[in-house]
Amino acid sequence: MNDRDPLDRPLSAAYRPGVAYDEMYDKEAGVRSHYAALQSRISTLGAGELADRQRTLEQSFLLQGITFTVYGAETSTEQIIPTDLFPRIIPAAEWAKIEAGLAQRLQALNLFLADIYGDQIILKDGVVPRDLVLGAPAYRREMQGLYVPHKAYANVCGSDLIRNEAGEFVVLEDNLRVPSGVSYMLANRDAAKRTFPGTYRTSGVRSIERYPDMLLATLKTLAAEWRPNPQVVVLTPGVYNSAYYEHAYLARLMGAPLVEGRDLVVHDNLVYMRTTVGLKRVDVIYRRVDDDYIDHLTFRRDSALGAAGLFNAYRAGNVVIANAPGAGVADDKAVYAYVPEIIRYYLDQEPILSNVETYLCREPKQLGYVLDNLDKLVVKAVGASGGYGMLVGPHASAQERSDFAQQLKADPSNYIAQPTIQLSTAPCLVDGAIEPRHVDLRPFILCGDKIVVTPGALTRVALKRGSLVVNSSQGGGSKDTWVLTGENETTAAGDLPA
Amino acid sequence: MMLARVADSLYWMGRYIERAEHVSRLSDVMLTASLDATGDAPRAARTALGAPEDIDEGKTAVDVALGLILDREDPGSVIVSVARARENARQVRDQITSETWERLNLLFLRITSPDAKRQFDQRAVTFLHEVISDLHLFKGAVDSTMSHGEGWRFLMLGIYLERAQLIARLLDASFGEAAQGSPLSDHLSQMGLLRMACALEPYLRVYTADIQPRLIQEFLLFNEDFPRSIRFSTARIEEHLRALAGHGNVQASGVPERLAGRLSSRLRFADLEETATSGAGGLLATVSQDCGRIHEAIYGAFVAYPLEQHLPT
């Protein structure tokens, strides 16, 4: 071929990072050292070859069924969750800080939950306003005073981190309810190993493949000691749930039955599943169903996704529900603002990872500031998630802002606001060209009798140019995340360094 | 031990897979046979598929085949069967191997692709052969990658119960009451029938090219080794149910095994002379009815049993 492809030129010529921190290039457009191996590999591949690899990747997702269904007028088609072939790379030293910060945070949040559902000392000490916690939508009065194994309320946590303009990782959100995405993390890794095998091998990437057995081990530590061989199950809302693929994936890799509410029977405060040979006792339920739906006798009455009487069996200590009902009160968007204080209060340590500056609209002074600066802020409804119920000030029209201001004034305690942060960008293959796209980072943390941070993460990508919203429900995609064993090292990948 | 709902899904997955393969093969033979002006095979195929009236509406064999393969409104079409098999597979995705799932998913993507109709229009027979061989690959993946334990047995039960009923219906449409007094009589149609049961070559090994209605019936009813004979199918049903009965509540799970044992013995010890007096039709009806009873008994024993039987007292 004589006509040289534009991509055969050095990547930096075509790639124009904006004002945000770029994961691959520094401000002088030099390649960051931990990206050097990948960058040099990419530069040897032409546009056609990259497109081929992207296609192979998408085909493999399609075949595995990592899809959602799009219903059309006549036919329904399967579409894959968008995925990008270039891994996002995090050097060892940065990861060490993230890891320590996440462990610290989850430890403090579980202590906070144990306190809130126990003696509520932190409220008596006035560190966090009482009404803010007890009035949070995710607070569950039914959990008050219940025994929770190891006081581990949140057993699976998927925090959202972002890297700000200064290149610092900060926590945007803690997800302590039913965080999803871990199957995409694992599927992306599978794919990346096939897409860039040589680069993967020489880069020294930490392995994440043990996540399912770590999860199983974590769940087993929650079972009662006198149940020697605890039966763990995964509870799914069913095949029509958008995360069903993940539920089935985790069940398969843990070797645990994937149950629906209709498979469970509660009798005399014991939980059973209906099997071909009668009823079999269930000890630990890794539920992927929201609090509201797990037991219509205790929570929402119109739900058929859980099992009647499940909460009573839980209260009686005969079954473990993970994550514990009510754990979501600690990831409430208003409680979030107090997490640094919570860490200092319980652990007497400075937070390793910072929060994003947050304005609580329930405070009249802060509300005033928010209303005056709507064009610079992101405003979020406290109870909502998935990118719903939020206003991205700089991207909204004047009309949208004034409409939102009315909602804000009507119910200020339902909202928080944060400055608009330019999330860092990473290279992505978009329509045949390599372009920067904003990304976040969702690592997964397990907590049973101890805390384990998986050395990897799901990197979510805002696929629209300039967009800062990475949620899959808002058109986001994902890519693999490589955590390196050492800076720039080209040794064989070590598994879990001491 | 497995979830009752999972056993149910595996069982139905088997039934839908078998149905898809059968309908694909019948369509294939019907298309080929319709090239020859003579012969009753197309009529028998349509009767076996429960669509004899299509002939009167003046539809061509290609129209009928297109409907049988790609009509999403027809509950018996291949596309519906494959979609339902996949829906069941999705329900039990944690119980089947990735190899098995990917085979079925590949077929589903092929047959539901927006391009499927064009491919069928251009080269219908090739398209059908690809569908059939995809189904064989699926069964191969089931056999060679899944544990041959409880779940696999429920899947196989679905396949063999469906098969026994489909072959019985095919024989009935060719020689029995459903043939309405005009049994397949010409050589070409009889070869067509053997092809519909995927039996032509195995038949020739046993009986040579001497093709007769009596021998065809004997082969498809009583042959011990041919995997699509009714005797072979019922023997497998009995075998799987016996193994499943060993797993649990003997009292309840013994019922389907007993029913299957009776049907299987009947086929093992009967021959055509014996049925000649009453005609094969009687035996075919028994096969159909007994398969229905076994189906219900499987539900009663493994899937939809009364909870009271099992609650600790």
- Looking up residue A372, the CATH number of its domain turns out to be 3.30.1490.270
The CATH number given to whatever domain includes residue A287 is 3.40.50.11290
The number of residues in chain A equals: 498
Q: What's the pLDDT tens digit per position in B139-158?
A: 999 999 999 999 999 999 99
User: Which residue carries 């959202």 as its tokens?
Assistant: A160
Q: What's the pLDDT tens digit per position in B107-132?
A: 999 999 889 999 999 999 999 999 99
Q: What's the pLDDT tens digit per position in B142-198?
A: 999 999 999 999 999 999 999 999 999 999 888 877 777 777 888 888 898 999 999
Q: What's the pLDDT tens digit per position in B67-101?
A: 889 999 889 999 999 999 999 999 898 889 999 99
Q: Do B109 and A75 touch (CB under 8 A)?
A: no
- Per the prediction, chain A carries an average pLDDT of 89
Sheet holding A354-355, edge to edge: A160-163, A169-173, A354-355
Helix (H/G/I), strand (E/B), else coil: A264 = strand
Angle, CA of A359, A364 and A365, to the nearest 5°: 65
Is residue A334 assigned to a domain?
no
Is residue A33 assigned to a domain?
no
Confidence of residue A256 (pLDDT cuts 50, 70, 90): very high
**Same domain flag for A302 and A242:** yes
pLDDT of amino acid B203? 96
Check pLDDT > 50 for residue A6: no
Number of H helices, E strands in chain A: 15, 24
Nearest to B91 among A77, A239, A245 (CB): A239
Is residue A140 assigned to a domain?
no
CB contacts, 8 Å: A258 with chain B: 92-94
Nearest to B3 among A75, A78, A257 (CB): A257
Q: Which amino acid makes up residue A378? A: V
Check pLDDT > 90 for residue A114: yes
Confidence of residue A295 (pLDDT cuts 50, 70, 90): confident
Nearest to B4 among A76, A245, A274 (CB): A274
Bridging pattern class, strands A390-392 and A354-355: unpaired
Confidence of residue A24 (pLDDT cuts 50, 70, 90): very high
Is residue A236 assigned to a domain?
yes
Nearest to B247 among A63, A244, A277 (CB): A277
Of A398, A419, A440, which residue constitutes the final position of a domain?
Answer: A419
Whether chain B has a CB inside 8 Å of the CB on A73: the answer is no
Of A388, A419, A450, which residue constitutes the final position of a domain?
Answer: A419
Read off the pLDDT of each residue in B245-255 and give the average, rounded to a whole number: 67
Read off the pLDDT of each residue in B14-28 and give the average, rounded to a whole number: 95
Read off the pLDDT of each residue in A252-281 and give the average, rounded to a whole number: 94
Q: Structural domain of residue A387, as residue ranges?
A: 357-419
Read off the pLDDT of each residue in B271-277 and give the average, rounded to a whole number: 68
Q: Do B3 and A251 touch (CB under 8 A)?
A: no
CA distance A283 to A259: 13
Residue in A150, A176, A146 with CA at minimum distance from that of residue A298: A146
CA distance B139 to B94: 18
Whether chain B has a CB inside 8 Å of the CB on A75: the answer is yes
Q: What is the CA radius of gyration of chain B?
A: 20
Whether chain B has a CB inside 8 Å of the CB on A280: the answer is yes
Q: Do B2 and A257 touch (CB under 8 A)?
A: yes
Given a contact cutoff of 8 angstroms between Cβ atoms, the answer to whether B53 and B80 are in contact is no
Check pLDDT > 80 for residue B52: no
Q: Do B3 and A239 touch (CB under 8 A)?
A: no
Q: How close is the nearest chain A Cα to the Cα of B88, in Å?
A: 10
Q: Pick the residue with more confidence: A251 or A490?
A: A251
Angle, CA of A51, A52 and A58, to the nearest 5°: 90
Q: Beta partners for A267? A: A270
Check pLDDT > 60 for residue A65: yes
CB contacts, 8 Å: B150 with chain A: 276
**Same domain flag for A235 and A304:** yes
Sheet holding A444-447, edge to edge: A156-158, A444-447, A451-453
Confidence of residue A494 (pLDDT cuts 50, 70, 90): very low
Is residue A295 assigned to a domain?
yes
Q: Do A276 and B109 touch (CB under 8 A)?
A: no
**Same domain flag for A239 and A307:** yes
Q: How far from B148 is each of B145, B155, B269, CA to CA, in Å? A: 9, 10, 29
Is residue A6 assigned to a domain?
no
Check pLDDT > 70 for residue A12: no
Closest chain B CA to residue A261? B5
Confidence of residue A120 (pLDDT cuts 50, 70, 90): very high
The number of residues in chain B equals: 313
Is residue A328 assigned to a domain?
no
Read off the pLDDT of each residue in B50-65 and give the average, rounded to a whole number: 68
pLDDT of amino acid B184? 80
Q: What is the CA radius of gyration of chain A?
A: 23
CA distance B162 to B292: 10
**Same domain flag for A307 and A368:** no
CA distance B229 to B217: 9
Looking at the structure of chain A, the number of domains it has is: 2
Is residue A397 assigned to a domain?
yes
Q: Do A275 and B101 touch (CB under 8 A)?
A: no
Q: What is the ipTM of this complex?
A: 0.86
- A347 C-beta neighbours (distance < 10 Å), count: 14
Q: What's the pLDDT tens digit per position in A342-368?
A: 999 999 999 999 999 999 998 899 999
Closest chain A CA to residue B298? A276
CA distance A459 to B144: 37
Of A399, A419, A439, which residue constitutes the final position of a domain?
Answer: A419
A-B interface: how many C-beta pairs under 8 angstroms?
86
Q: Do A75 and B307 touch (CB under 8 A)?
A: no
Q: Do B102 and A64 touch (CB under 8 A)?
A: yes
- Determine phi and psi for A469, rounding to 5 degrees: -100, 115
Q: How close is the nearest chain A Cα to the Cα of B81, in Å?
A: 16
